[in-house]
Amino acid sequence: MTFLRQTAVAFAALMLAAAPTLAPTVAAAASASSLTPDQQALVKRAGSYIEALKTVRSRFTQIDGNGVTSTGTLYLDRPGKARFEYDPPASLLVVSDGFNVEVFDRRLKTYSLYPFERTPLVLLLARHVRLDRGVVITDVEQVPGGFVINARDGHKQAEGKISMRFSDVGGAGGTVGLRGWTIVDATGRETRVQLGALTPIDHLDANLFNIRSH
């Protein structure tokens, strides 16, 4: 695998490597009892915020385990649909149609398919968002300007984990915003994704979420 290919696939590969960690179809003991009431309230606000997201666009910046930075555009059409389109020279395209997550390298002409519900994207794109279902929320950390939700596999079947970062303006009655996430696989390899503003848009072309049309 070339260095460029490694850079381009870092987010998708690690996202999928962590997939068993985050599959909400796997029964897991609820983690709410290990959180304080304030932490539980933040988890609930984050879930309500994600569920209210509909059709949005954002720029993103990805930093992989080697410190290599890639950029691109994210399109969300909740529930179910997402598109991560990387800027050149990266050639990767990651698309969710709500049933599968498809990964296509335009330059190498390689293609992979994964069940949607076995990827961490289900935390962001599910019709009914439950951030404590299928995972154990190990901690909710308050940080300057927001908070971070840390989660791992509910059955400890994998050592991967995810941390989702949110802004929080105005406290309990204020505005929550998704700012990005970090995924760590079983080897400790980390990919960090930082989002720009999630801009609402009226309509997205359905072909954006059909990888075979590109």
Give the start-to-end residue ranges of the domains of the chain: 3-209
Q: Which has the closest alpha carbon to 28: 160, 152, 182?
A: 152
- Mean pLDDT across 41-69: 91
Q: Which CATH number fits domain 3-209: 2.50.20.10, 2.40.30.10, 3.40.50.150, 3.40.50.970?
A: 2.50.20.10
Q: pLDDT band for position 123 (50/70/90)? A: confident
The overall average pLDDT reported for the chain is 78
Question: How does pLDDT run across 69-96, given as a tens digit for each residue?
Answer: 999 999 999 999 999 999 998 888 999 9
Q: Beta strand 92-97 with 55-63: parallel, antiparallel or unpaired?
A: unpaired
Question: How does pLDDT run across 128-176, given as a tens digit for each residue?
Answer: 777 766 668 889 999 999 999 998 765 554 456 889 999 998 766 678 9
pTM check: above 0.85: no
Cis peptide bond upstream of 24, omega within 30: no
Which class for 119: exposed (0-12), middle (13-18), buried (19 or more C-beta within 10 A)?
buried
